[in-house]
Structure 1
Amino acid sequence: MNDKANLPGDTPRYPIREVSRLTGVNSVTLRAWERRYGLLRPHRTPKGHRLYAREDIERVEHILQWLHRGVPVSQVRELLEQPDAPASHRPGADDWTSQHQQLIAAVEALDTARLDALFNQSLALYPADVCVEKLWQPVIHNLEERWDERLGATLQRRTLEAFLRTRIGTRLYHANSRAEKAHVLVAPLPEADSPLTGLLAALLISEQGHRVQWLDAPLPFQELNLAEERLGVDALLLASSKAEKPDLIRRQLPRLADQLGVPLALCGPVARIRASDLADSRVVILGDDLPVAASRLNDLLANTPHNETGMHLNE
């Protein structure tokens, strides 16, 4: 099938893979919006293939606008059909609260089957950046506060980490085979005591069409130069939920950024805490908000030749 098919009247129609490319919403999610919530009504060919009009693509963009404002997908149809409804009458985010509670309960109960169902459901109904912004990032922050010196906290943390390693690792494996953009290496910094920040960042970057190589443990700094050369990466992204040691931030990272031929970027709490320490360096500060950080990295890779480094995105 051609990327764009024409029906009688020369009305342009687009196959689902093209709509996914244009909107950034994967095909599984587009189908779920259609089947479960009636948000889309694509034309069907005699063989059953979906074809979308330009109006459908615009509708997807409107759906994304509501999702990014925190409206659950189950409440979007009403807003699309009544776009002039007063803001005070618009549905709240109670569904997100419910999802938070369910996810936290599954982690605390060590219920990996329930975790699996919630993980698959969230990524089927929402784009990855919405999932991370509205669900996974706030839930992990909530859990980290609960885990502070609580009996059983380490077991809960390691169970969640192992679960996300497997699920996100599987998604990266399949996505890398069809990735057409840059090759990004994601690794934790030495003081990072959890892979969660890097894992979520890797998921978001992969969903943008980049090939992602994710490392579970820190590399010696002298081997990051080797990784650029041997792996042929277009960018290195380092993540940490800790402030990291002053010498690493003020001397080792800037020196590494000067030596590399590709951008060296930083995300997670360390990027927020240490932004001022790196203001005069060539390290790219992406910030603590992971969807925003992934979007900034995507823009950097799209607009900057691979031999140019030193862009700062912390403004």
Structure 2
Amino acid sequence: MAQQHFLTQFSDKPRYNTKAVAQETGVPADTFRAWERRYGVPRPQRTEGGHRLYSERDIATIRWLRDRTAEGLTISQAIALMTDGNEANLSWLSTAVDTEPHTWERLNSRLFSALTDFDSTRAEQILGEGFALYPMEEVFLKLVQPVMVEIGEQWHAGRITVTAEHFATQFVRRKLSSLFNTYNITDGRGLVLLACAPSEQHDLGVLMLAVFLVRHGWQVIYLGPEVPVRDLIDTVRHLQPDIVAVAASTTESATQLLEAGRAITALPPPTPHFGYGGRAFNLNPMLIQRMPGAFLGRDAQEAVDTIADLLSASR
């Protein structure tokens, strides 16, 4: 069955509560609970206290059903289509999975057009299509991030207006902030403090890292753009995080991190790990040689893995 083949790429590990699923899919909780009662889809597991826990596979199923009903099918027709084993009816699913490079290119082009046309409704629909096909992290790394880089480059070249760039940035920031607030926890695998360099205004990459971390069970305190070094150090002394991660997109802002890194790594025990990353270090790896601490990687997923390795080694 094509639908079954499609779903096997998603984890069936139960980890998301009802509120998180409603936030990610845009489907009201009452709706997909009604689907569960009547049709047995999705299939959440339950905690000892009786609360539902959903997997990535459940979320993908809900998104797929949402999109089919949006196209005009009834929910019973959509579920029948999903489960009837008709390969012809579901050929678009296997095509989307098997021709991933073409699919990402198509999604990128459409999202770029929607954002530069100030069309948030269409942008939401395109993101929804991406989330229905791929895990959330892949959508941000292979769709949202490349599109935002392209928009930034087009703005610098004078091909799109600053208002279009601002609209796109705020659209993505709202999406990331919403996800961060949904998943953020008060206790977790460790405390990570995230910030941007003192003159760094571009914080989408750090906010994306914050979302990835909370989805992997880390407790995150996100300080945002333009954090002065002195205030950062005071906050580190007060909170005593396990790791301090800072970002810079330009050589100027990366240079400012030298002071922060030296001050943090010189703190008395318990001294937090100091990590850094951002576009400046990706474009100019020579900067890495000057920095104390650990380079976290070229993107948010690499940063998540590096942070896990740092804290695992220290424990």
Q: TM-score, normalised by structure 1?
A: 0.65
Partner of 2:124: 116
After TM superposition, the structure 1 = structure 2 runs for residues 54-65 of structure 1, keeping only pairs within 5 Å, are none
Partner of 1:272: 282
Is 1:143 aligned to 2:143, yes or no? no
* Gap change, CA 1:294 and 1:151, over 3 Å in 2: same
* Gap change, CA 1:106 and 1:302, over 3 Å in 2: farther
Is 1:30 aligned to 2:50, yes or no? no
Deviation at 1:100, TM superposition (A): 0.4
Partner of 1:57: none
After TM superposition, the structure 1 = structure 2 runs for residues 64-103 of structure 1, keeping only pairs within 5 Å, are 74-75=93-94, 91-103=99-111
- Is the CA contact (8 Å cut-off) linking 2:60 and 2:131 kept in structure 1? no
Deviation at 1:238, TM superposition (A): 0.9
Deviation at 1:106, TM superposition (A): 1.2
Partner of 1:87: none
Distance of 1:33 and 1:139 partners within structure 2: 23
Distance of 1:253 and 1:175 partners within structure 2: 29
Distance of 2:116 and 2:96 partners within structure 1: 33
Deviation at 1:235, TM superposition (A): 1.5
Deviation at 1:163, TM superposition (A): 2.0
Question: Which amino acid in 2 is paired with 1:74?
Answer: L
Deviation at 1:232, TM superposition (A): 4.2
Question: Which amino acid in 1 is paired with 2:58?
Answer: R
Partner of 1:163: 171
CA-to-aligned-CA distance 1:106-156 (integer Å, 9 cap, x gap): 110111222233334434542233122321222122222211242653212
Distance of 1:36 and 1:173 partners within structure 2: 21
Name stretches of at least 5 consecutive residues in structure 2 with no aligned partner.
1-11, 17-42, 45-52, 66-91
After TM superposition, the structure 1 = structure 2 runs for residues 194-205 of structure 1, keeping only pairs within 5 Å, are 194-205=202-213
Is 1:258 aligned to 2:266, yes or no? yes
* Gap change, CA 1:227 and 1:134, over 3 Å in 2: same
Deviation at 1:264, TM superposition (A): 1.5
Distance of 2:260 and 2:190 partners within structure 1: 25
- Is the CA contact (8 Å cut-off) linking 1:249 and 1:278 kept in structure 2? no
Partner of 1:9: none
Name stretches of at least 5 consecutive residues in structure 1 with no aligned partner.
1-13, 21-25, 39-72, 79-89, 306-315
- Is the CA contact (8 Å cut-off) linking 2:189 and 2:219 kept in structure 1? yes
- Is the CA contact (8 Å cut-off) linking 1:257 and 1:263 kept in structure 2? yes
Is 1:284 aligned to 2:294, yes or no? yes
Distance of 1:133 and 1:33 partners within structure 2: 18
Distance of 1:280 and 1:136 partners within structure 2: 31
Is 1:299 aligned to 2:297, yes or no? no
> How much is the aligned-residue C-alpha RMSD, in angstroms?
3.3
Distance of 1:15 and 1:271 partners within structure 2: 35
Partner of 2:231: 223
- Is the CA contact (8 Å cut-off) linking 2:111 and 2:123 kept in structure 1? yes
* Gap change, CA 1:131 and 1:185, over 3 Å in 2: same
Question: Which amino acid in 2 is paired with 1:299?
Answer: D
Partner of 1:16: 14
Partner SS state of residue 198, structure 2: coil
Greater helix share, 1 or 2? 2
Distance of 1:246 and 1:137 partners within structure 2: 20
Partner of 2:220: 212
Distance of 1:36 and 1:248 partners within structure 2: 43
Q: TM-score, normalised by structure 2?
A: 0.65
